[in-house]
Amino acid sequence: MTQLKPILMHLDSIPSTPGKFKPDKSSPYNLYRLRFHPTLFPRFTLWSFFFIFFIVLLIFFSSPSNPTAGNSRRSLKNSLSPSPALGPNWERRVRASARPRSKTGFTVLVTGAAGFVGTHVSLGLKRRGDGVLGLDNFNQYYDVGLKKARQSLLERSGIMVVKGDINDAVLLRKLFDAVAFTHVMHMAAQAGVRYAMQNPGSYVHSNIAGFVSLLEACKMANPQPSIVWASSSSVYGLNSKVPFSEKDRTDQPASLYAATKKAGEEIAHTYNHIYGLSITGLRFFTVYGPWGRPDMAYFFFTKDILRGKEIKIFETSDQGSVARDFTYVDDVVKGCLGALDTAKKSTGSGGKKKGAAQLRIFNLGNTKPVPVGRLVSILEKLLKVKAKKKVIQMPRNGDVPFTHANITLAHTELGYKPTTDLEMGLKKFVKWYVSYYGSKKKSSW
Ligand SMILES: *[C@@H]1O[C@H](CO)[C@@H](O)[C@H](O)[C@H]1NC(C)=O
């Protein structure tokens, strides 16, 4: 019945009793009459045309291949009568996944749970006894097969990953209604610096609109959860003062990605200020490791070196080397858990602030920048293959020449202390890479 409404609205614009319709001179129908009626088309044929036209419209708007119509229909369905996927059985699974092992354990919603860091954080939380519910939209920015494989890994540990978008307010409400989350670990984002030139809208959709949608759900929740989320070292942009400290300026981003992460930090300030949400932002520095992202240099260098394909190594405009503060994923996970453990409770409830709440920002880096050339020579040694290298000047499309974290603050406040150097970390990555791609012969990515 509800699905008929839009069609009835279309029908409203034509008379319900065609036979009695007397077109006046200004009516647009008049034109049709003049053109068709007198000679070839009897009056009823004209109205059959209208009828067929609206039938075609009806089919068009109810077709699932039409994305807008599909979306509005889905959200309508969610709010009115849940589909089987959101029914009582689904809710039971959601609750079971989010249930901590002990009374003192956290109940955490992890967004972007099928992503690289999201997967590792989820596993880390589950391992120590917290309850974890994952959420991920499984978008096609990179190989969905890899995301699905991470999901299987999570499921084997008893973690359910709901397929859905953080922009879906109805779904978020359903999740918050089903579970009283104590914490939200927000890792969902559109990642990648260069891709922003191809698809800028995706960054706005995930990193800005999606973040706001999530904060809206958190603010309305009762009790409000504490939020820890992934910002980025890219907010330091074109800064030349090293190491990067949290108090340094972050107003000269070099990419749209960086700009949307910086926007996220400002949005976090607003939601903390107005609604009393406890929010901690973590500025990640080039996180790498097993189950990593195929769009990152260490990952596709490995792939290309093994295939004998030439790799491009960037240098700065003055022939300097490009360097990154590579941070091993297990170290980052420890930082994330430290942030959760030290997060104070949000002070508001049901959309009302009751007092000042915690707002923090931390660098999570390794404090040891490594030139990209060194990264390549470590990979050559581990893979036992000589790379075909081509040194080119770094294009000015979003990358910054170097990153270097000051992690003093994270160390004092979170007990953060990275222990894995690049050689050790890459060894673990390569071991995973060979076992994952070597045995499965994946070609789709
Ligand atoms: C690192 O950050 C701390 C504050 O967290 C600051 O006191 C210190 O001066 C910074 N160190 C450097 C070398 O910039």
pLDDT tens digits, 157-176: 999 999 999 999 999 999 99
d(CA 56, CA 346): 52
Written as one letter, the residue type at 225 is P
* C-beta of residue 371 within 8 angstroms of C-beta of residue 301: no
β strands within 152-221, DSSP E: 160-163, 183-186
Bridge partners of 135?
Answer: 111, 162
Q: Give the pLDDT score at 24.
A: 42
Q: Give the pLDDT score at 352.
A: 85
**Is the pLDDT score of 17 beyond 80?**
no
Question: How is residue 343 written in tokens?
Answer: 């997060």
Within 8 A by CB and 6+ apart from 204, the residues are: 260
* C-beta of residue 284 within 8 angstroms of C-beta of residue 323: no
- Tens digit of pLDDT for each residue in 202-261? 999 999 999 999 999 999 999 999 999 999 999 999 999 999 999 999 999 999 999 999
Q: Give the pLDDT score at 54.
A: 57
Domain boundaries, the chain: 72-288+326-368+402-419
* C-beta of residue 288 within 8 angstroms of C-beta of residue 425: yes
- Tens digit of pLDDT for each residue in 98-127? 999 999 999 999 999 999 999 999 999 999
Work out the angle at residue 354's Cα, subtended by the Cα atoms of residues 350 and 357, and round it to the nearest 5 degrees. Answer: 100
Question: How is residue 53 written in tokens?
Answer: 């036209």
CATH class, range 72-288+326-368+402-419: alpha beta
- Tens digit of pLDDT for each residue in 312-322? 999 988 888 89
* C-beta of residue 188 within 8 angstroms of C-beta of residue 119: no
Pocket test for ligand 1, best of 241, 242, 364, 406 (most atoms within 8 A of CB): 406
Q: How far is the CA of 236 from the centre of ligand 1 (A)?
A: 15
Higher local confidence (pLDDT), 438 or 93: 93
Question: SS3 for 285?
Answer: coil
Residue 365 is classified by DSSP as -
Active-site residue (options: 257, 271, 416, 433): 257
**CB distance 408 to ligand 1 below 6 Å:** yes
Q: What backbone phi and psi angles, to 5 degrees, belong to 112?
A: 70, 35
Q: What backbone phi and psi angles, to 5 degrees, belong to 6?
A: -60, -35
Residue of minimum CA distance from atom 5 in ligand 1: 409
| 285 φψ region: left (φ > 0), alpha (ψ -120 to 50), beta (else) | beta
Confidence class of residue 439 from pLDDT cuts 50, 70 and 90?
Answer: low
Q: Give the pLDDT score at 381.
A: 98
- Tens digit of pLDDT for each residue in 334-376? 999 999 999 999 999 878 888 999 999 999 999 999 999 999 9
Q: How far is the CA of 363 from the centre of ligand 1 (A)?
A: 11
**CB distance 242 to ligand 1 below 6 Å:** no
**Is the pLDDT score of 81 beyond 90?**
no
**CB distance 409 to ligand 1 below 6 Å:** yes
Nearest to 236 by CA among 189, 286, 181: 286
d(CA 220, CA 33): 56
Q: How far is the CA of 405 from the centre of ligand 1 (A)?
A: 10
Q: How far is the CA of 394 from the centre of ligand 1 (A)?
A: 29
Task: Name the average pLDDT for the chain.
Answer: 86
**CB distance 23 to ligand 1 below 6 Å:** no
d(CA 345, CA 225): 7
Q: How far is the CA of 246 from the centre of ligand 1 (A)?
A: 8
Residue of minimum CA distance from atom 11 in ligand 1: 406
**Is the pLDDT score of 9 beyond 70?**
no
Helix/strand/coil percent split, the chain, to 5: 50, 15, 35
Q: Give, to the nearest 10 degrees, the angle between helix 422-440 and helix 372-383.
A: 50
Atom of ligand 1 nearest to the CA of 409: 5
The average pLDDT across 270-289 equals 98
**CB distance 367 to ligand 1 below 6 Å:** no
**Is the pLDDT score of 18 beyond 90?**
no
User: Is 32 labeled as catalytic in the residue annotation?
Assistant: no
Nearest to 328 by CA among 368, 301, 372: 368
Confidence class of residue 34 from pLDDT cuts 50, 70 and 90?
Answer: very low
Confidence class of residue 193 from pLDDT cuts 50, 70 and 90?
Answer: confident
Q: How far is the CA of 408 from the centre of ligand 1 (A)?
A: 6
**CB distance 406 to ligand 1 below 6 Å:** yes
**CB distance 245 to ligand 1 below 6 Å:** yes
Atom of ligand 1 nearest to the CA of 242: 14
Higher local confidence (pLDDT), 56 or 105: 105
Question: SS3 for 10?
Answer: helix
* C-beta of residue 135 within 8 angstroms of C-beta of residue 175: yes
Confidence class of residue 301 from pLDDT cuts 50, 70 and 90?
Answer: very high
Does 223 sit behind a cis peptide bond, omega within 30 degrees of 0 on the bond before it? yes
Pocket test for ligand 1, best of 408, 409, 411 (most atoms within 8 A of CB): 408
Higher local confidence (pLDDT), 218 or 194: 218
Q: How many residues does the chain have?
A: 445
- Tens digit of pLDDT for each residue in 372-422? 999 999 999 999 999 999 999 998 878 888 899 999 999 999 999 999 999
Residue of minimum CA distance from atom 13 in ligand 1: 243
Atom of ligand 1 nearest to the CA of 241: 14
d(CA 411, CA 173): 36
Residue of minimum CA distance from atom 9 in ligand 1: 245
Q: Give the pLDDT score at 350.
A: 79
Residue with tokens 């009897």: 42
Question: How is residue 147 written in tokens?
Answer: 């995301």
Q: How far is the CA of 407 from the centre of ligand 1 (A)?
A: 8
**CB distance 383 to ligand 1 below 6 Å:** no
Q: Give the pLDDT score at 202.
A: 97
**In terms of DSSP bridges, do strands 183-186 and 226-232 run parallel, antiparallel, or are they unpaired?**
parallel
User: From residue 219, how far is each of 85, 342, 428 by CA, in Å?
Assistant: 26, 20, 40
**Is the pLDDT score of 21 beyond 70?**
no
Question: SS3 for 230?
Answer: strand
Nearest to 255 by CA among 299, 200, 316, 189: 200
Residue 226 is classified by DSSP as E
d(CA 257, CA 204): 9
The average pLDDT across 413-436 equals 98
d(CA 280, CA 78): 31
d(CA 217, CA 226): 12
**Is the pLDDT score of 299 beyond 70?**
yes
d(CA 437, CA 413): 39
Atom of ligand 1 nearest to the CA of 412: 5
Confidence class of residue 43 from pLDDT cuts 50, 70 and 90?
Answer: low
Q: How far is the CA of 242 from the centre of ligand 1 (A)?
A: 10
Q: How far is the CA of 241 from the centre of ligand 1 (A)?
A: 12
What's the start-to-end Cα distance of the chain, in Å?
44
